[in-house]
């Protein structure tokens, strides 16, 4: 079972980078996306994200994540367009200001969210937490919490799918075409989902403790995460990109 956010094996330039470099790159792109105010530049960021996805050799996954965001974006776009009242009316109650503002918001959201999700698919979660501990000196407890939270998202989704499957098999009409009816059916399932998730988290905590979680120190990891020339070059490049974005 491979969820969209699960690690994808590969040997691309991004796979081999230091995990911390990848975090910095993703953050730089986020900063650029939120700093920039130029529609074209924002579209360019989204294109850059997709190119990064292709270079990383996760083309299929990159586009399926992209498609997911497009769906959310359409919804957001319509909502925004409806609420902006200033500017010249284009048709009905839609204004030109509204369209531009909505487009910017949507592109910004995509530009910032895509690199974060792509980073997660090309980095092993264990590498991410170990590198945070080794390089950034984040206490292991916190690094572990962050990465576990990330790892729980696909588990959560799979669990919900399985619960829906089980309930459909009992005769709950999840296969109805009506989205609102389906939503109403999903809500009561949040109880078992929450219960199983809390239980899972609880047993994870117990088993981590049994395996000596609190004995772990910064020096416990055997893998080193040195910065290579490519890492430093990439960091400089993307910081410059972020600065450029803010100035735009």
Partner 1 sequence: MIEFKNVYFQYPHGGASLKNIDFKVEKGEFVALVGENGAGKSTMLKLINGILKPINGDVVTAGFNTKNTKISQIAKHTGFLFQNPDRQICCQSVKEEIMFSLNLLNDMTAEEKEERAEKIINAFSLNPDENTFAMSRGEKQKTALASALASEPEVLILDEPTTGLDYRECTAIMDFVKKLNKEKNITVFMVCHDMEIVMDYADRVIALAQGEMVDDDTPENIFRKKDVLKKAYLLPPQITELASLLGGEFENCDSAEEILEVLKKQRKGEL
Residues lying near partner 1 in the complex (CB under 8 A):
1-2, 159, 162-163, 165-175, 188-189, 191-192, 195-196
Q: How do beta strands 89-91 and 94-95 pair?
A: antiparallel
Which one, 2 or 218, has the nearer CB to partner 1?
Answer: 2
Closest CB 170 distance from partner 1, rounded Å: 6
Closest CB 3 distance from partner 1, rounded Å: 10
Which one, 101 or 193, has the nearer CB to partner 1?
Answer: 193
Contacting residues for 191 by C-beta, under 8 A, at least 6 apart: none
Closest CB 58 distance from partner 1, rounded Å: 14
Which one, 67 or 137, has the nearer CB to partner 1?
Answer: 67
Cα separation, 139 vs 141, in Å, equals 5
Which one, 172 or 243, has the nearer CB to partner 1?
Answer: 172
Helix (H, G, I), strand (E, B) or coil at 57: coil
Cα separation, 230 vs 14, in Å, equals 10
Closest CB 187 distance from partner 1, rounded Å: 11
Q: Is 35 exposed, middle or buried (0-12, 13-18, 19+ CB in 10 A)?
A: middle
Token pair of 187 as six digits:
């809500």
Closest CB 5 distance from partner 1, rounded Å: 14
Which one, 72 or 195, has the nearer CB to partner 1?
Answer: 195
19-35 helix and 39-55 helix, angle to the nearest 10 degrees: 160
């Amino acid at each position: 079972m491979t969820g969209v956010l699960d690690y994808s094996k590969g040997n691309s330039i991004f796979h081999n980078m230091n995990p911390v470099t990848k975090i910095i790159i993703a953050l730089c792109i986020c900063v650029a996306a939120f700093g920039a105010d130029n529609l074209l530049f924002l579209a360019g960021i989204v294109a850059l994200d997709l190119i990064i996805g292709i270079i990383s050799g996760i083309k299929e996954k990159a586009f399926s994540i992209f498609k997911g965001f497009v769906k959310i974006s359409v919804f957001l776009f319509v909502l925004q367009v409806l609420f902006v009242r200033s500017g010249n009316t284009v048709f009905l109650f839609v204004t030109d200001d509204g369209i531009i503002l909505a487009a910017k918001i949507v592109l910004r959201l995509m530009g910032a969210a895509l690199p974060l999700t792509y980073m997660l698919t090309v980095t092993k979660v264990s590498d991410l937490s170990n590198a945070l501990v080794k390089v950034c000196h984040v206490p292991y407890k916190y690094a572990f919490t962050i990465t576990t939270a990330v790892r729980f998202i696909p588990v959560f989704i799979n669990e919900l799918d399985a619960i829906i499957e089980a309930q459909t098999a009992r005769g709950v009409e999840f296969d109805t075409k009506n989205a609102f009816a389906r939503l109403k059916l999903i809500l009561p399932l949040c109880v078992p989902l929450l219960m199983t998730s809390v239980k899972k988290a609880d047993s994870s905590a117990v088993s981590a403790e049994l395996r000596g979680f609190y004995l772990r120190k910064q020096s416990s990891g055997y893998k080193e995460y040195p910065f290579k020339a490519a890492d430093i070059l990439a960091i400089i490049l993307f910081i410059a990109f972020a600065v450029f974005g803010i100035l735009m």
